[in-house]
Amino acid sequence: EVGCRLISYSPLCLGLLTGKYTLDTLPRPGNPRRQLFRELLPGAQPLLKTLEAVAADAGKTQSQVAINWAMCKGGVPIPGVRTVAMAEENLGAVGWRLSNRA
């Protein structure tokens, strides 16, 4: 109505939505996300399985689907990256749109 858009800080949920982490592949000891992910991962499984399936169907990574979803909902996602490779992967979230089913 007024042309404002929501800025999506951490659209990859601190890395949880990247597909990199499971209960067997938690962040290293000493990383504060380790305990957080240990608590969140069991309840997040339905979402993570759906994200994995949508990514496979779209030929995209889970990160790209999560970022694209935020854009399709009208948000302006700001994913954090630590490497050029992560930034390049995230660029794959633009130039396409999830279908209305997602």
Mean pLDDT for each consecutive 10-residue tract of the chain (102 residues)? Answer: 88 96 96 96 97 97 98 94 96 92 53
| pLDDT confidence of residue 2 | 86
CA 97 to chain centre: 15
Q: Which residues contact 43 (CB under 8 A, 6 or more apart)?
A: none
Q: What is the pLDDT of residues 25-41, one digit of tens each?
A: 999 999 999 999 999 99
The pair of structure tokens assigned to 89 is 């992967």
Give pLDDT tens digits for 91-102: 999 999 998 655
If one counts the domains in the chain, the total is: 1
Which structural domain, as residue segments, surrounds residue 60? 7-91
Has residue 68 been placed in a domain?
A: yes
Domain membership of residue 99 (yes or no) is no
Mean pLDDT over all residues of the chain? 94
Question: Where does 1-102 show beta strands of DSSP type E?
Answer: 7-9, 76-78
Is 39 inside any structural domain? yes
Assigned domain for 100 exists: no
